[in-house]
Amino acid sequence: METTLRGVGVSHGVAIGEVRHMGTAVLEPPAKQIPTEDAEREQGRARQAVEAVAADLIARGNLAGGEAQHVLEAQAMMAQDPELMADVDRRIAVGSTAERAVYDAFASYRALLAGAGEYLAGRVADLDDVRNRIVARLLGVPMPGVPDSDKPYVLIARDLAPADTALLDPTLVLGFVTEEGGPTSHSAILARALGVPAVVALPGAGELAEGTVIAVDGSTGDIFVEPSPEKRAELEAAAAARKAALSASSGPGATSDGHKVPLLANVGGPADVPAAVEAGAEGVGLFRTEFLFLDDGSKAPSEEKQVEAYRKVLEAFPEGRVVVRVLDAGADKPLDFLTPADEPNPALGVRGLRSLLEHPEVLRTQLTALAKAVEGLPVYLEVMAPMVADRADAKAFADACREAGLEAKFGAMVEIPSAALRARSILQEVEFLSLGTNDLAQYTFAADRQVGAVSRLQDPWQPALLDLVALSADAARAEGKSCGVCGEAASDPLLACVLTGLGVTSLSMGAASIPYVRTTLGKYTLAQCERAASAARAADSAEEARKAAQAVLSGE
């Protein structure tokens, strides 16, 4: 009998297939004591296992490339964390086996993260994955991971670690569903990059029996269990029609009456550029430079290394626009040489621009590298600062850009509600705004973007969030300046129309989403988008806002 479940759709497309479950997590090792004379041998076993897992993660990253590579390299650094390894050695010295010491040391670190307000909850899943891989190697049991199958399937998991998501084979894994996670988690972002339909935050997903046929709609978040032949035909027809429309989609982003809305790509480095170019991106709306810094968390990359990476991206978009976000470190992206290790709540501490202003030499080197990278290139470079709170922040950043001799537009990200509320003041110092809707939602609703339990409040359709977008766009219009969106909200085709109606001047997203947004935006006039935006803002919940906008655009 057909039943319908509802999670959070995070990657467009429809997948229909049999359920296969993720490999079971490693069991808790027994707490047995070892003789003192065995401690050195056990410590050696632990170190060997850690190095092997780190090497495996780096190898997986090299195979995956793009953002996945940077995420996995950061996970490898997590495995080799000196403080964690010191804790493992201490536990072995007092009688624990290598596997038990690893298990307990990681559990202790996990508890510390939870006690810090769980801003790093998304990284807790990464931490658990690293622990499981090390313990599995020590116990000599199979690694947890994607099941072996010779025919396509829909993957079900409690959560997916980057190491698993990065190497999913789209010819076998039709789509995936997780019980946990949020719309802006690493797994969601990587799923969009892969073009694999995905739904997260679906309680009870693990109870779906192996072999059950389900249909996953990654756009709506709907899961149809044992869909009827009629429902399957309906979904397959809709998917085929969507695919045909996407194939025919090309050219710049615009509404049906010719109102231009440049569609840009979010990239993490040169490896992400080919997909962006193939999707027809008109430039880059968010170049996440922190991945370059995560390669070696103990020190900043040299100016020469930065110049090389930046120039590769800039060269790919002649006559296009490339918006570079300077290093956004702190919170879920800690760097040993830059961010405090003992903050009680890193999300509300020294991160983003605050961290750079405390280490002006790091900002100066990055800005100088950008100035050198753009020399002689016919590209429109724009540079923006993360976590701008007020006009003083914006002025400090603009002054730093000028002192570095950077010939580019300077901008501010709107990720803190204060920046939206005082946008006109900030625009006295900078030339454009870019809305990071992921963090803006997090700070507006006090809802950690990595915690699936509060995913309702992370929904970019929340009317309060749309109000802040409108405030920012109105301020930019009044100052004769631009206001784009580079958060994951831009990848939702229907919401892209609403954002356009709110006055947003450009949309930046993962490359895989660009054809969907281009096709949908081209169906409606600017006036229709404006009416849809008004209807969404008048609603009282995210779900009502989505339905209201859909009703306007469908002519109901």
Tell me the three-class secondary structure of 298-362, residue by residue.
CCCCCHHHHHHHHHHHHHCCCCCEEEEECCCCECCECCCCCCCCCCCCHHHCCCCHHHHHHCHHH
Rg of the chain over all Cα atoms, to the nearest angstrom? 24
CA–CA dist 99, 221 (Å, integer): 39
C-alpha dihedral (427, 492, 6, 14), degrees to nearest 10? -160
CA–CA dist 283, 281 (Å, integer): 5
Q: Do β-strands 8-11 and 263-267 pair in parallel, antiparallel, or remain unpaired?
A: unpaired
DSSP 36: G
Active-site residue 486, yes or no? yes
Angle, vertex CA 231, rays to CA 4 and CA 241, nearest 5 = 115
Set 483, 486, 497, 529: catalytic member = 486
Give the strands of the sheet with 173-178, arranged side by side.
3-6, 222-225, 213-217, 14-21, 153-157, 173-178, 198-200, 8-11
Return the H-helix or E-strand segment holding 544.
helix 542-553
Q: Which residue from 340, 322, 320 is spatially nearest to 330, judged by alpha carbons?
A: 340
Q: Do β-strands 222-225 and 3-6 pair in parallel, antiparallel, or remain unpaired?
A: antiparallel
- Which ranges in 404-525 belong to alpha helices (H)? 417-421, 423-426, 437-445, 455-458, 463-479, 493-501, 514-521
- Residue length of the chain: 556
**Amino acid of residue 46:** A
SS3 385: strand
Q: Which residue shows structure tokens 């003041």? A: 425
Show Cβ contacts of residue 453 under 8 Å, excluding neighbours closer than 6 positions: none
CA–CA dist 8, 539 (Å, integer): 19
Set 12, 186, 401, 497: catalytic member = 186
Whether 465 and 503 have beta carbons less than 8 Å apart is answered as: no
CA–CA dist 279, 316 (Å, integer): 13
Tell me the three-class secondary structure of 87-106, residue by residue.
HHHHHHHCCECHHHHHHHHH
Whether 459 and 183 have beta carbons less than 8 Å apart is answered as: yes
Q: Do β-strands 198-200 and 173-178 pair in parallel, antiparallel, or remain unpaired?
A: parallel
Catalytic residues: 186, 486
